[in-house]
Amino acid sequence: MTTTAPTEAAAASLTVNGTPVPLGDRATPHTTTLDWLRDQGLTGSKEGCAEGECGACAVLVARPAVDGTSTEWVALNSCLVPVAALDGQEVVTVEGLGEPGRLHPVQRELAERGGSQCGYCTPGFVCSMAAEYYRPGRVDAAHGANDGARDGSCGPNGFDLHAISGNLCRCTGYRPIRDAAWALGAPDESDPLAERRRTAPTPARRTHLRADGAELVRPADLSEALGLLLSRPEAVLLAGATDLGVDVNLKGARPPLLVAVDRLPELRGLDVDDDEIRIGAGLTLTEVERGLAGRVPLLAQLFPQFASPLIRNGATLGGNLGTASPIGDAAPVLLALDAALVLTSATGERVVPLADYFTGYRESVRRPGELIREVRIPLPLAATSNFHKVAKRRVDDISSVAVAVALDLVDGSVARARIGLGGVAPTPLRALRTEESLVGRPWTRATVDAAAAVLATEGTPLSDHRASARYRSAMLGQSLLRLYAVQSREREAQP
C-alpha cells in the first residue's frame, strides 16, 4: 500500500468536488462526513435518519475498481463515515455534479421528468443515480437488459434500479425517478468524472488525527494495525462504519481510538483454489459480490437482501461478524457454508470454525488485540442451498428470522446438511438437531415435514417489536417447507 507521512489535524484534507479542502481544526475523529460537508457550506447532502436507511446523505467517493488500476465512483452514506477516514480521498457532492444553468445529465432528467417532489431526498438520489450512471459496463450491457431482468429492475439503458434502493422518497414519487434513470445515456467522453475512471485510484494515506481527546489512525500496514491493537486495548476497529456510525450518531458513542483497516491490502484479498474460497475481511460486500460473480449461490442470494447498495458499498464481512450480532445476515449463510475465520494478532494467527466463534450476545472468541483477517469457505459447495430472510420490508431491513440451508443429496437422500439460523437466539447458531433429523433420510415431503417440526423448536426465539416468538418459530419450520416446495415446482417444470 502506498503511503505518505502521517497527517495531523492541520494537514488532513479531502478533495471535494475537485478542490483540496483541509479538514480544519473543528474536525474530530467522530465528525461525520455529512456534518463536515455541511459546515463547508455544501448543504445539498441532508440528514434524514442518521443510520443509513434513507440515503438523503449520499455522496460519491473515488475507490479502486476491480482491476486495481482504474477508479470507480461509489455511493456512500456520508452520515456514517467519519470524515477523517476519508483523509486524502476524493469526494463529489451533488453540488459538484452540476449547478443551475449547467445541470448534470442525472439532474436534468430528474427535473424534466418530475422526479423531484419536496426535494429533500433529491440530492441523495442524484448521487446514487450518478454512481450507477458511471458504472463500468452499464452501457455495454444495456441491449435487452430489461427483457432479461426477472424483476424488471434493469432499464433498456442498462440502469439497474436496485442502485437507488437505499434512497427513500417521502413524497412517493418513484415512477418519475425510474423514468429519469432509464432515460440516461452514456457519459460524454469529455465528462471529467468519466475521465477520472480511466486513471489510477488515489492511494491510501497513513493518517493520525488527534482532536477532542480522541484519535483516528489509518495504519500503514497490518503489522502497525496489530501493534496498535496490542498496545491500546481501548482501540475500536473501523471499516465501513455502517454499524459504528449508527452508535456514534444515535447512541453518542465516542471511542477514544479508531483504527481504520478498510484499505489494508492484507485484508483485501479474494482467492479461489480447488479446496477453498478465501475472502478478505476488509473487502466491501459489493466487492465480494462482484468478485465471486455468483460462484457461491448462497452468498448470491444474500447480497441483494443485505441492507442497501449504499450500505454494501461500505460494509464488510469482517465488520458484520466482528460485532457478533445475532441478527447479522451474513452469519447464518456462512454457518451453512461451514465457513471458518482467520483471526490474527501481533502474537500469531489461528483458524476458528464460525460455528465455534459466537459465545454470547455480541460476544465471541476473538481475543483483545485480534482482528478477523479473512473468511474461508471450503469447497466443493453443497449442490442444494437456499437463504430465506423474513423481515417487514423486502429489502433494507433487519431480519426477524434468517435461515440458510445447504444440503448434499445423493441418490435422493440427504448425505450432508448444514443449517444456519439468525434472529432466534442470543447468537447465530447451527440447527444441529434439524441437521441430524435430515441426514441419512430420503429427501421427501415426509422427511421435510418431520424436519420442519424440529426446526421450529431450534433456538430460543423472543418476542419484540419485529416479531413474536411464536411467529419466529413458525417461520423457521416454513423455511424448510418453502425450499422443498420450490424444488418440487422446478422439477415439475422440467421437460
pLDDT in tens, 24-65: 999 999 999 999 999 999 999 999 999 999 999 999 999 999
User: For the chain, what are the domain ranges?
Assistant: 1-205, 269-378, 384-493
d(CA 21, CA 65): 24
- Is 269-378 in CATH node 3.30.465.10? yes
Contact partners, residue 156, CB within 8 Å, separation at least 6: 142, 143, 145, 146, 182
Distance spanning both ends of the chain, measured CA to CA: 54
d(CA 17, CA 38): 14
Closest Cα partner for 130 from 156, 157, 92?
Answer: 92
- Check if the beta carbon of residue 315 is closer than 8 Å to that of residue 284: yes
> What pLDDT was estimated at residue 4?
42
Class in CATH terms, 384-493: alpha beta
Read off the C-alpha cell for 339: 465457513
Residues of the chain with pLDDT under 70: 1-10, 141-150
Read off the C-alpha cell for 478: 416454513
> What pLDDT was estimated at residue 390?
92
Q: How many Å separate Cα 131 from the centre of its chain?
A: 16
Q: How many Å separate Cα 472 from the centre of its chain?
A: 25
Q: How many alpha carbons fall within 13 Å on the CB side of residue 409?
A: 12
Cell numbers 481504520 correspond to what residue? 260
- Check if the beta carbon of residue 329 is closer than 8 Å to that of residue 302: yes
d(CA 388, CA 305): 10
DSSP 82: B
**C-alpha pair distances (Å), 14 with each of 22, 37, 75, 87, 196:** 6, 10, 16, 6, 16
**C-alpha pair distances (Å), 81 with each of 225, 255, 262:** 19, 14, 12
Closest Cα partner for 290 from 72, 12, 30, 11?
Answer: 72
d(CA 4, CA 390): 47
> What pLDDT was estimated at residue 141?
61
- Is 1-205 in CATH node 3.10.20.30? yes
Helices 105-112 and 174-182 cross at an angle (nearest 10°) of 130
